[in-house]
Amino acid sequence: MLVKDAEEIWGEFVDLLQKKCSLAEFQNWIAPIHFVPSNDSDIVLEVPNVFVQDYLLSNYRHELISFFPLNSKGDPLIRFIIKEPKREEKVIEPVIQEEKKESDDRYEIKLNIGYTFQHFIEGPSNQFVKSAAVGVALRPGKSYNPLFIHGGVGLGKTHLLHSIGHYVKEKHKKIKVQCITTEQFINDLVDSLRNKSVDQMKRFYRNLDILLVDDIQFLQSRLNFEEEFCNTFEALINQNKQVVITSDKPPSALKLSERLIARMEWGLVANIGIPDLETRVAILQYKAERKGLKIPQKVAFFIAEHIFNNVRQLEGAINRLSAYCGLIQTEVTQEIVETTLSELFQYVPQKKVTVESILKSVSSMFNVRVQDLRGSTRKKEVAFPRQVAMYLAKELINESLMKLASSFGGKTHSTLLHSWNKIKKQLETDETLRRQIQMTKQNLES
């Protein structure tokens, strides 16, 4: 693409975002991104840090996809470069003004506008941790202190942390709250050491009423910083100031000092788990609705069955679908989902499935005996599960029909084929059967 074109498109893109987001969001997250003229086929954007880059990619993927050329995977052709801090300029600028300006934006709380309690969908895997977070937001320093939230990637830890921040900012205006990533804390400390303003930084953090710290695992093996963090943390806790920490592991699994681990375990340690199928469907439908995308319930289940351990990927799926269906003006169907999302789908490494294991699984799902499944009775309560077992055998085992059929107590290959056809047809309309087969498969793979 010509540099001129690329720059114009970027300008139009920024105009669009300016209309879409709040002033604060725009200033915090979009304005700091700069277009860099280049002769590459990629668009080159300069960002002050990776957070701004992540923010753009995760919140405006749909818009990026519709504005910029895409690579073969369907991702926008954008290359990010992180801005180098311009030390020389700092020296030239008037010192007082510079210091004031820096301390202002350095300590301004930055929260993702979408990460509020209202937009957080509850289910059995996150109910407990959400109510703990709400408890902290309602009565900071008085309920659980510290609150330590841990769980895998993309399960809503940052979302809950920012939700506390939003709530407190709105409801308790006088309370001083800061939300930082551990990386930011470390960067702050490095900057303060360089600018000889460590005391100012310490004062700032120790005067807070609430400190929200994201991704504490990044403090591991950063010995020098750990001590300063630990001091800040203790200073706050000792004054009953609220601290909330998120991490990808529980405190005891972190490679941090015993002192810090013990402090983190003082309050409430809450795990945020993988949402179950129904919750994943609810999240999917909620996010789709907000994008104006209609997904039939059956298709939503299909997506949620294949993307199961990361909510962020569910969002990615919605963005991709919404871009695709928006472009070619079509409804969401299972076929479209299969073609546009297949690379996001997760497949559990399968255990070796045998006729034996299928028979066992089917026998417990339908409450019939394995020997009856192998036998020849035509009673419906046995014949039907037998057909299901044959269907699964043909679907899951890569063997000749003849061999498979003979493992069913010497049936013929045409019996097996007939069963497979019958069940396959019934699956198109029978939701209960679909769920039964899904559960049997899960049972086989677990």
Binding site for ligand ADP (CB under 6 A): 115, 119-121, 126, 153-159, 283, 311-312, 315
Among ligand ADP, Mg ion, none, partner that 132 touches (CB below 5 to 8 angstroms by kind): none
Q: Which is nearer to ligand ADP, 65 or 423 (CB)?
A: 65
Q: Which is nearer to ligand ADP, 164 or 358 (CB)?
A: 164
Q: Is there a contact between 416 and 394 (Cβ–Cβ < 8 Å)?
A: yes
Residue 212 Cβ, how far from ligand ADP at the closest point, in Å?
12
Q: Which is nearer to ligand ADP, 158 or 440 (CB)?
A: 158
Residue 310 Cβ, how far from ligand ADP at the closest point, in Å?
8
DSSP secondary structure, 104-168, as one string: HHHTS----TT-SGGGPPP-TTTHHHHHHHHHHHHSTTTSSSSEEEE--TTSSHHHHHHHHHHHH
Residue 56 Cβ, how far from ligand ADP at the closest point, in Å?
13
Among 112, 158, 232, 313, binds Mg ion (CB under 5 A): 158
Give CA separation, 33 vs 40, 109, 160, 397, in Å. 18, 19, 26, 52
CA torsion sign for 357, 361, 364, 367 is negative
Q: Is there a contact between 57 and 64 (Cβ–Cβ < 8 Å)?
A: yes
Q: Is 313 in the site for Mg ion (CB under 5 A)?
A: no
Count of chain residues binding Mg ion (CB under 5 A)? 2
Q: Is there a contact between 264 and 226 (Cβ–Cβ < 8 Å)?
A: no
> Nearest to residue 337, comparing CAs of 321, 353, 316, 356?
321
Residue 304 Cβ, how far from ligand ADP at the closest point, in Å?
13
Q: Which is nearer to Mg ion, 46 or 248 (CB)?
A: 248
Q: Which stretch binds Mg ion (CB under 5 A): 111-119, 157-165, 283-291, 341-349?
A: 157-165
DSSP secondary structure, 379-415, as one string: -HHHHHHHHHHHHHHHHH--S-HHHHHHHTTS--HHH
Among Mg ion, ligand ADP, none, partner that 312 touches (CB below 5 to 8 angstroms by kind): ligand ADP
Cα 25–273–217 angle (5° rounding)? 65
Q: Which is nearer to ligand ADP, 158 or 197 (CB)?
A: 158
Contacts of 21 (CB under 8 A, 6+ apart): 29, 30, 113
Q: Which is nearer to ligand ADP, 254 or 283 (CB)?
A: 283
> Nearest to residue 154, comparing CAs of 341, 346, 289, 302?
346
Q: Is there a contact between 92 and 241 (Cβ–Cβ < 8 Å)?
A: no
Residue 216 Cβ, how far from Mg ion at the closest point, in Å?
11
Residue 152 Cβ, how far from Mg ion at the closest point, in Å?
10
Q: Which stretch binds Mg ion (CB under 5 A): 75-83, 158-166, 328-336, 381-389?
A: 158-166
Q: Which is nearer to Mg ion, 58 or 340 (CB)?
A: 58
Q: Which stretch binds Mg ion (CB under 5 A): 154-162, 199-207, 279-287, 424-432?
A: 154-162
List residues near Mg ion by CB under 5 A: 157-158
